[in-house]
Amino acid sequence: MSHQPSTAAESAIRAALRRLPKVDAVLARPALTAADVPRWALRQAVRERIDELRQAVLRGAIPASFDLASEDVCARARALAAPSLRRVINATGVVVHTNLGRAPLSPAALARVVELAGGYCNLEYELGVGRRGSRHGHVAALLTALTGADDAVVVNNNAAAVMLALSALASGREVIVSRGELVEIGGSFRVPDVMRLSGATLVEVGTTNKTRASDYERALSPDTGLLLKVHPSNFAIVGFTEEVAPAELATLGARAGVPTMMDLGSGLLLAEAELQAMGVPPEPGVRAMIAAGLDLVSFSGDKLLGGPQAGILCGRADLIDKLRRHPLMRALRPDKLTLAALEATLREYRDRAGPVATSAASSAGTSAATPDTDSNPNIDVPVAAMLAAPAAELERRAEAALALVRDRLAGPGPGRAAVAVTVSACTSTVGGGALPTSTLPSWGLALVPAAVEVGAVDIDVALRRADPPVIGRIVAERVVLDLRTVLPDDLEPLVAAVVSVVSGTA
C-alpha cells in the first residue's frame, strides 16, 4: 500500500519545526551569557519559549519569526528565579490577615531573629554548667510573669497546642465540650476531627445556643479526662444564648478532680481597659483565664499577641510538665527563630512603660475612653499599634498620602483621567479569628474608575503587579487602601504604586 503524498500544510509544518532554534545556540548569545540570571532559569525559559513556538506550529499557526528576543528570555528567567514568598503591602484593613502572614514582627523581634539566624546559639545548651539543656525554658519565665500561670510551654502553632494537650491528657478518655463550641477555625481544622486524631472521645453537651454547668456535670464519668472550653474566635452566637463562664467550669473541674482547659485561640496580653481605650470591644485575655482558675489555656503567638507563629500553653505546672515530656512534643517543638522572635515580643510586653492612658473623663468614671484619646499601648508591637491607631490620625495619614500622590502627578500625563484618587472613610477588622463582629473606624485612599475602559478589578490587578504588590479591597466598584494596616515603611512604595496606576504606567 503506497503512502498518500503530503499536503502542503503538513510540509509547511515540518519545515517550520526544523526552523525551531536550538536551546544551546540561544543560550550562547553574549546577551544571555552575560545576564545576571541563574543559568538553570535561562535554560528553562528558553525551553518553555521554544515549546510554545512548537505548539503553535503544530496547531498550524506558524509564526512569522522564530527568533527569541534575549530581553524576553531574561525577563522570563528572572520570574522563574524569583522567590515565591514576597513582601506585600497590606492595605486591606485586616490587622491579623492570615493570607498575608498574620502579625508583622516588631523591630526587636526582627533584630533577634537576624542576630541568631546567622550563627549558633544556646538553644539546648546550659551555659552555666556546660551541658545539654532544654529549649523550653527560654520563654517560660516571661510567659508565667505575663499570664500569672505556674508554667508554660511553646509549640509551633495553636492547633498543635490543642492536639498535644488532648493527646497527653485525654487520649483514650472522654473530653466534654459544649455543642456551641465545636468550631471550625479554618483550613478544615475542626474540633471533633482533632479529638479523633488525638485518641480522645468527644462528649457533646448542651445545645448550639445554650449550655449550662449542669450539662457538663451530668456528663461527668470515671472516663472523663478533660473539660474543654473553646473560644468561638471567628463567629458569634447572639440572641437567646447561655454559656458556662470559665470560672464556673474551673470550679466544676476542681470539684470533680478533672482538668479544665480553654482553647483561647488569640492570645491577648493587653488589659480590657486598654482595649476599651483603643475602641476595641472586650476580648478574653490570657491572664483573666488563668485567674479564673482554668488549669490550661492555649493560644496563638501570631494573632493579637503580635509575635511569630507559635502555639502557647500556660497553666498548672504538673500538666505543663506532662505536655513537655509527651512523645508528640518533638514533632511539634518550635525552632530557634520562633523562640527568638517570641522572646523579643514578650519582652516588649514585660518592659513597656505601663498600661494605656485613658481620658480624664474615663478616669473620673463619667464615660468610656474613645478611640481618639491617648490609646498608645506603650508597646512597640505592630499589631498593638495598628489596633490603637485613632481614626483622626489615620485620616491625617490619608490626607498626607493623597498630597504625595497629587504632587507626583502634577502636570500632564497619559491616562490620568481613567482613575481618580480620593481620601475615604472605611472600616478595619481585627482578623485572625478575633472579634468577628467588630469593626474599627479607619481612613484610606480610594481609587475610583473614571473611564468606561477601566474597572475596579483592573485597578486591583495593577496594584497587585506593583513591586512590592499592594493588596487592597474592592468596595462598591472602588479599590480602597486602608491605611490602618500599612506599615510606616510601606507608605512610600504604596504611594509609588498608586501613582503608577493613576498615570497609566503600571
pLDDT on residue 411: 58
Distance CA 489, CA 10 (A): 59
Residue 488 in domain: yes
Last residue of a domain, one of 336, 351, 366: 351
* Same domain, yes or no: 310 and 179: yes
Residue 451 in domain: yes
Range of the domain at 440: 388-503
* Same domain, yes or no: 310 and 422: no
CATH number of the domain residue 315 falls in: 3.40.640.10
**For residue 43, which phi and psi values (nearest 5 degrees)?**
-65, -45
* Same domain, yes or no: 218 and 140: yes
b (16+ CB within 10 A) / e for 407-418? ebeeeeeeeeeb
pLDDT on residue 433: 66
* Same domain, yes or no: 111 and 65: no
Residue 92 in domain: no
CB 113 within 8 A of CB 339: no
Residue 372 in domain: no
pLDDT on residue 187: 58
* Same domain, yes or no: 154 and 58: no
Residue 434 in domain: yes
Grid coordinates in use for 502?
493613576
* Same domain, yes or no: 147 and 256: yes
Name the burial class of residue 222, with classes exposed (0-12), middle (13-18) and buried (19+) by CB atoms within 10 angstroms of its CB.
exposed
* Same domain, yes or no: 271 and 186: yes
Residue 409 in domain: yes
Non-local (6+) Cβ contacts of 213 within 8 A are 244, 248, 249, 252
* Same domain, yes or no: 75 and 113: no
Query: Residues 469, 470, 471, CA angle at the centre, nearest 5°?
Result: 115
CB 423 within 8 A of CB 399: yes
Residue 380 in domain: no
* Same domain, yes or no: 250 and 181: yes
Taking alpha carbons only, the member of 175, 245, 253, 169 closest to residue 217 is: 253
Grid coordinates in use for 157?
502553632
Name the burial class of residue 462, with classes exposed (0-12), middle (13-18) and buried (19+) by CB atoms within 10 angstroms of its CB.
buried
Residue 433 in domain: yes
* Same domain, yes or no: 170 and 220: yes
Could you give the number of structural domains in the chain? 3
* Same domain, yes or no: 298 and 395: no
| Amino acid letter, 410 | A
* Same domain, yes or no: 225 and 345: yes
Q: Is the dihedral of CA 293, 298, 303, 305 positive or negative?
A: positive
CATH number of the domain residue 449 falls in: 3.90.1150.180
CB 258 within 8 A of CB 224: yes
* Residue 75, CA distances (Å) to 29, 31, 81 in order: 15, 12, 10
pLDDT in tens, the chain (506 residues): 445 556 888 888 999 999 999 999 999 999 999 999 999 999 999 999 999 999 999 998 998 889 899 999 999 999 999 999 999 999 999 999 999 999 999 999 999 999 999 999 999 999 999 999 999 999 999 999 999 999 999 999 998 999 999 999 999 999 999 988 877 665 566 777 888 888 899 999 988 788 898 999 999 999 999 999 998 765 666 667 788 899 999 999 999 999 999 999 888 898 878 887 877 777 888 999 999 999 999 999 999 999 999 999 999 999 999 999 999 999 999 999 999 999 999 999 999 865 543 333 333 333 333 333 345 567 889 999 999 999 999 999 999 999 999 999 885 554 445 899 999 999 999 887 667 667 899 999 999 998 778 899 999 999 999 999 999 999 999 999 999 999 999 999 999 999 999 987 66
